[in-house]
Structure 1
Amino acid sequence: MKTNNKLIVITGASSGFGIEMAKEFAKDGYSLLLLARRIEKMEALKLPNTMCRKVDVTHKDEFEAAVREAEAKFGKTDLIVNNAGVMLLGDIATQDAKEWKTMLDVNVMGVMNGMQIVMNDMKLRKTGTIINISSIAGVIPFDNHAAYCASKFGVTGLTKVVRGQMSPFNVRVLSIMPGAVKTELLGHTTDQSIIDGYNDWKESVGAVNITATDVAQTIKYAYELPQAVSLREIMITDTKQDA
């Protein structure tokens, strides 16, 4: 194991990309702050140099308190991965507006909270990396994804804006846009017919073989490049996914 005491903050760290990123970064000895609402999932990993906190990213005060607690122990945040997100697919003509709000709050406001918590300090130190997890649905429209696309197009757009603000301070702001990957994300959708249709589509393209670990390793690679190298936008999909 390498020894690396830089602090990495990962939101949505109890499943999917988040939990796999935690495992990958832990292999090289990074200090970690893992944030999610299901703390038991994170604590079960028993990773070294790791602090786990139950946090809702839409509550900025508790989000920031957790980051400051970790920084007091491990030093300033060198990387934050704003990964927490929900995908509630639905037809905009019939979908419950509460589901729209949930996605916009978590997927957009949660990301904005995370960026604001670390960006001013990164500017002062003239170093650091912010990685926002968007989606292929943040650049390409998909049927039954209207509100989800709205949230992820929002993440893609705000990442571009903040990148422009932070680049003069040597701070990288990256957007990762995964395609279909087998995680718990689809399980958030409440319309079973849409879930069935989504799964039928995956089977029609030969299933999806890309894994959350593949995405986590890609994110780690982008982060570990020299600070002067910014992979601004990475769209990562299964080779068989054609859209």
Structure 2
Amino acid sequence: MNKVVLITGASAGMGKETAKLLAATGYTVYGAARRVEKMKDLEPLGIKTLAMDVTDEASMVSGVEQILAKEDRIDVLVNNAGFGSYGAIEDVPIADAKYQLDVNVFGAARLIQLVLPSMRRSGWGKIINISSIGGKFATPYGGWYHASKFALEGLSDALRNEVKPFGIDVVVIEPGGVKSEWGQLAYDNLIKSSRQSAYRETIDKLAGFLEKAGEKNVEPMVIAELIREAIEAKRPKFRYVAGYMAKQLVIVRKLLPDRLFDRVIMGQFR
């Protein structure tokens, strides 16, 4: 029996590539996103598309109910919807900060709540939360984004042990640099929030760094393959890391004390 997969943020990047890969592998795939028109190219591949806003309760409930009415179960949830709200913590309006956490944390958490009853009934399930290496360490001017990913990491660790007795696995994917709309959106948010900023000099250096780093990012399919590996593993790892500089930075963060790690990070802005 084909596994039924729900992927959020399927309109672009890692979400779209994951939907394509899993559909080609024989999964029954539902791709969800706000921008339904961006998923039209998925439909000829047999992927079913849903309009879903992960900050809207009715939208999430309706989407999950549609899948359950058709398939009677959801075996795999890939919480991929997310974005980066960059700017100095002082500069970013609290309303924007709350929206960042609504999308990256609370939207994922609510979908987890909605799919768990089906997974418990089946005695099997995989919840794949797309975090970031930015959930392991923080860089200046990404504070609200890092806060959301640190929160998602902690949520995943707690959830993993809660649902393990029901045959459900919780996996965190930690991408590094990946070619996607994410980088441009983070850059745009950074510039927007810092027009009159007291931090403008350093922010301009970060903006330049982001532009250069983007040229070395890996293709989204690299992460899609990692997600498939996690889904198909009988005993998946708790965390999977891939993408430009991902493994190196995670290792460096483990090895270096805070003060020295700060010096390494700030050295990038000179």
Q: Do they superpose with TM above 0.5?
A: yes
Residue 59 in structure 1 maps to residue 68 in structure 2: no
Partner of 1:175: 172
Residue 76 in structure 1 maps to residue 82 in structure 2: no
Partner of 1:13: 10
Partner of 2:122: 125
**Structure ID, larger Rg:** 2
Please give the alpha-carbon distance, in whole angstroms, between the structure 1 residues aligned to 2:246 and 2:151. 27
Q: Is the 8 A contact 1:132 1:176 kept in 2?
A: yes
Which of the residues 218, 231, 238 maps onto 2:244? Answer: 238
Residue 200 in structure 1 maps to residue 209 in structure 2: yes
| Pairing 1:91-130 to 2, within 5 Å after superposition | 91-130=88-127
Q: Is the 8 A contact 1:186 1:195 kept in 2?
A: no
Offset from partner CA, 1:185-221 (integer Å, 9 cap, x none): 12223233758724525636x9424111100111111
Please give the alpha-carbon distance, in whole angstroms, between the structure 1 residues aligned to 2:206 and 2:230. 33
Please give the alpha-carbon distance, in whole angstroms, between the structure 2 residues aligned to 1:6 and 1:32. 8
Q: Is the 8 A contact 1:26 1:47 kept in 2?
A: no
State the shift of 1:155 in Å.
0.3
* Long gaps (5+) in structure 1: none
Please give the alpha-carbon distance, in whole angstroms, between the structure 2 residues aligned to 1:135 and 1:19. 17
Please give the alpha-carbon distance, in whole angstroms, between the structure 1 residues aligned to 2:77 and 2:246. 30
* Long gaps (5+) in structure 2: 192-199, 250-270
State the shift of 1:239 in Å.
4.7
Please give the alpha-carbon distance, in whole angstroms, between the structure 2 residues aligned to 1:199 and 1:11. 30
Structure 2 letter corresponding to 1:94: D
Partner of 1:218: 226
Please give the alpha-carbon distance, in whole angstroms, between the structure 2 residues aligned to 1:199 and 1:118. 41
Offset from partner CA, 1:131-170 (integer Å, 9 cap, x none): 0111111111111111111100000000001101011111
Residue 50 in structure 1 maps to residue 52 in structure 2: no
Please give the alpha-carbon distance, in whole angstroms, between the structure 1 residues aligned to 2:217 and 2:83. 21
Q: Is the 8 A contact 2:19 2:47 kept in 1?
A: no
Please give the alpha-carbon distance, in whole angstroms, between the structure 2 residues aligned to 1:27 and 1:53. 19
Q: Is the 8 A contact 2:174 2:241 kept in 1?
A: yes
Please give the alpha-carbon distance, in whole angstroms, between the structure 2 residues aligned to 1:32 and 1:196. 41
Greater CA drift, 147-156 or 59-68: 59-68
Partner of 1:191: 190
- Number of aligned pairs? 237
Offset from partner CA, 1:65-116 (integer Å, 9 cap, x none): 2122122223411100011001111100212222201111000111101100
Cα RMSD after superposing both structures = 2.1
Partner of 2:84: 87
Please give the alpha-carbon distance, in whole angstroms, between the structure 1 residues aligned to 2:145 and 2:190. 14
Please give the alpha-carbon distance, in whole angstroms, between the structure 2 residues aligned to 1:36 and 1:83. 10
Please give the alpha-carbon distance, in whole angstroms, between the structure 1 residues aligned to 2:205 and 2:28. 40
TM-score, structure 2 normalization: 0.81
The structure with the greater share of residues assigned to helix is 2
Q: Is the 8 A contact 1:22 1:34 kept in 2?
A: yes
Partner of 1:163: 160
Which secondary structure state, in structure 2, belongs to the residue aligned with residue 77 of structure 1?
coil
TM-score, structure 1 normalization: 0.90
Q: Is the 8 A contact 1:21 1:217 kept in 2?
A: yes
Please give the alpha-carbon distance, in whole angstroms, between the structure 1 residues aligned to 2:46 and 2:9. 18
Please give the alpha-carbon distance, in whole angstroms, between the structure 1 residues aligned to 2:66 and 2:246. 43
